[in-house]
Amino acid sequence: MSGARILSMGFVGLILLFLAFPIIVVAVVSFSSADYLTFPPPAFGLRWYRAYFGSEDWLVPTFLSLAVAACVVVLSTLLGTLAALGIARLPRALRVVATGLILSPLIVPVIVVAIGIYYAFSRYGLVGTPVGLVLAHTCLAVPFVVTSVSASLAGIDPRLEQAALSLGATPGGTFFQVTLPLIRPGVLVGALFAFITSFDELVVALFLSGTGAVTLPRRMWEDLRFSIDPTIAAVSTLTIVLTAALLGGAHLLRRRAERMRTA
C-alpha cells in the first residue's frame, strides 16, 4: 500500500470518527455515576437510567411521543401508500403538481411549516392536543412513505400484474395477491421512517405542544434550558438505540426485498 493511500485512509478515518464520536460520548456519559456532566466519567452506573425510568416527568412525555408516532405511522402509511399507487398513473401536469405538494415538506424550512400550522390550528383549538401533533407530524412524515413506496413500485415488473389480470384475477385480487406483497418492504420502510420522523420531531412540537401535549423532544428541550445533567444523556442513548434498532429492521427488510426480486 502506498503512503498516499494510507494517508487518505487515515483522513477518511478521522472524518468518520468526527461523525461517530459525539454519539459515542453521549452513550458513555449516560452511564456516568457523577452528579454533573464530566468526561470521562469517574465511575459507571445506571443512576441516570433509574432517574429516567423513575420519573413521571420523563415517562409521560415518552408515552405521548410513542403514541403520537404510532398514530402518525398509521395515518401517513395509509395515505402515502394509496397516493404512491396512483401518482405515477396521473396525467403529467397533475402528477407534477401532486408530487411537488407531497414532497415539498422536505424542502420548505420546518419553521415555516411549524408556524403556519400553529397559526391555523390555534383557531380550531388543536394547540396543546395530541391530535394536533398527529395531524402536523403526518405532513412531515408522508414524503418518506411516498418516496419509499414509489421506489418499490418502480421495481415491480408490470407483466406480473398483467399476467394476474389476464388469468382472470379481479383488480382487487391482483392488488392484494400480487402488488401488495411485492411492495410490502417499501411500505414497512416508509412506516419506520415515518415513526422516526415523528418521534424525533421538535420544531413543530415547540409550537403545538403547549402545556397539554408535551412530547419527549420538547421535554428534553425544556430540560436543556436549565441544566445539561446526564438524564438527558440517558434519554438520548435510549432514543439512539431505538433508532438503530428500527434502522437495522429497515435494512433487513430491504435485503429480503432484494432477494425476493432476484429470486
Partner 1 sequence: MAQGAPALPVAWNRVMPLLLVAPLLVYMVVFYALPVISMLLRSVSEPTWTLANYAALPRDTVFLNTFWNTLYTAIVVTVGTLLLGYPVALGLVRARRSAPLILIIILLPFWTSILVRSYAWMVLMGRHGLINEALIAGGLIERPWRILNTPLAVQIAMIHILLPYMILPIANALRQIDPSLARAASGLGATPWHTFRQVILPLSMPGVAAGVLLVFVLSLGFYITPAMLGGPRDITLSMLIAQQVDQLNWSYAACLSATLLATALVIIAAAQRLPGIGNAFKMSAR
Three-state SS for 44? strand
Closest CB 70 distance from partner 1, rounded Å: 17
Please report which residue ranges of 88-179 form alpha helices under DSSP H: 92-103, 110-121, 130-154, 158-166, 171-174
CA pair distance 29, 26, nearest whole angstrom: 5
Contacts (CB under 8 A) with partner 1, residues 124-143: 135-136, 138-139, 142
Closer residue to partner 1, CB minimum distance, 51 or 206: 206
Length of the chain: 263
CA pair distance 225, 235, nearest whole angstrom: 16
113 binding partner 1? (CB under 8 A): yes
Grid cell of 230 as nine digits: 446526564
Q: Which stretch binds partner 1 (CB under 8 A): 36-44, 53-61, 183-191, 255-263?
A: 36-44
> What is the phi/psi pair of residue 237, to 5°?
-60, -40
46 binding partner 1? (CB under 8 A): no
CB proximity list for 254: less than 8 A, separation 6 or greater: 185, 189
Contacts (CB under 8 A) with partner 1, residues 1-30: 4, 8-9, 11-12, 15-16, 18-23, 25-26, 29
Binder of partner 1 out of 90, 129, 184, 254 (CB under 8 A):
90
Contacts (CB under 8 A) with partner 1, residues 177-206: 179, 196, 200, 202-203, 206
Closer residue to partner 1, CB minimum distance, 24 or 60: 24
Closest CB 179 distance from partner 1, rounded Å: 8
